[in-house]
Amino acid sequence: MLGGCAGLPRKTASRDGFFAQRKLAIGIQLYTLAQAAAADLDGTFASLAGIGYGAVELAGLMGKSPAQVRASADRAGLKLTSFHIPAESRAPGDLSLASDAGSLAADLHMLGISRVAMPIFRIPKRLGVMQSGEGFLAFLTRIAPHLTADDWKRDAALLNEKGVALAREGIELGYHNHNPEFAPLGGATGFEILMRETDPSIFFEMDAGWVAAAGLSPIELLRRYPGRFRMMHVKDILPSTRPNFVLQQNPTEVGKGLIDWSVLLDAAFDAGVRDFFVEQEPPFTMDRLAALKISHDYLARL
């Protein structure tokens, strides 16, 4: 059933609040403000800190050096705690898992980051490239139905290989899901293959919104794989979202959608999640910072 918390009672909000009680920062995945951050990183970080966010998961360096990004975060009083590192670089200067593990780790240590996640599955070469005028999301939506069990097995092997190399450098590697991972492939889903074929040291970052968009329960997934999830994208979707496996969802601010966060956050913490990052997909019905403030303030009250 879509929503992820069906059948569970809604919990009365704690006076101390989920995050305050556990001394956890409310984090943000910077992808949500990618254009603003690229144009004015200092200003964007200052705005996020002003709202009350305390931790940041990066999605790129925005044309800056690791030292420059770290200095900007320090000026705003924000802690950089994670980084989405793709399998292959999509822009000059971006970090990727194809980089030498030692040099990649050196950049991450400069940022103060020791935990990273592969943000999305690799795109098999047989599925081609983006067509003229086709956006990246439209491209992914087009190719997602053609992913096979072997594609997921290759991604699991890559995670294992890179995980060993990065662990030697003091970096933990994980994987962030969307919803193509949950498409039935005969005997197993891509997500089940990733879980089965990756070493237990490879962690998972649950994107709760994408799990719900697949028509699945985030809580049931947490319980099925105890100890494998260490980070979470706190993302909400509207009930109008039809379950699918092709990167489609109707987004909204956290607390305004169908996920019962008062229950899910506790379940995530019990399962081992310690880093929580708000993320919202477009389209937005308001200014992005205003949307992120709504999400932050809702979470701070839980």
The domains located in the chain, with CATH, are 18-301 (3.20.20.150)
CA distance 127 to 117: 24
DSSP-derived 3-state class of residue 189: strand
Spell out, as residue ranges, where the chain has pLDDT lower than 70. Answer: 1-15
Instruction: Report yes or no: 58 and 111 within 8 Å, Cβ to Cβ.
Output: yes
Interhelix angle 190-197/149-167, nearest 10 degrees: 40
Residue 15: exposure state from Cβ atoms within 10 A (0-12, 13-18, ≥19) = exposed
Tell me which H or E stretch contains 175. Answer: strand 172-176
Neighbours of 51 (CB within 10 A): 18
Quick one: tokens of 73? 């975060």
Neighbours of 254 (CB within 10 A): 25
DSSP-derived 3-state class of residue 238: coil
Instruction: Report yes or no: 115 and 171 within 8 Å, Cβ to Cβ.
Output: yes
Those residues whose C-beta lies under 8 Å from the C-beta of residue 301, and which sit 6 or more positions away, are 13, 17
Neighbours of 276 (CB within 10 A): 24
CA distance 32 to 217: 24
DSSP-derived 3-state class of residue 215: coil
Instruction: Please name the residue that has the structure tokens 């006076």.
Output: 15
Dihedral of CA 288/291/295/301: which sign?
A: positive
Residue 261 identity (one-letter amino acid): W
What is the reported pTM?
A: 0.94
| E strands, the chain, in order | 27-29, 55-58, 79-84, 115-118, 172-176, 203-207, 229-234, 236-237, 251-252, 275-278
CA distance 270 to 153: 29
Those residues whose C-beta lies under 8 Å from the C-beta of residue 46, and which sit 6 or more positions away, are 75, 76
Instruction: Please name every residue paired with 27 in a beta bridge, in sequence order, or none if there are none.
Output: 55, 277
* CA 247 to chain centroid: 14
Pairing outcome for strands 115-118 and 79-84: parallel
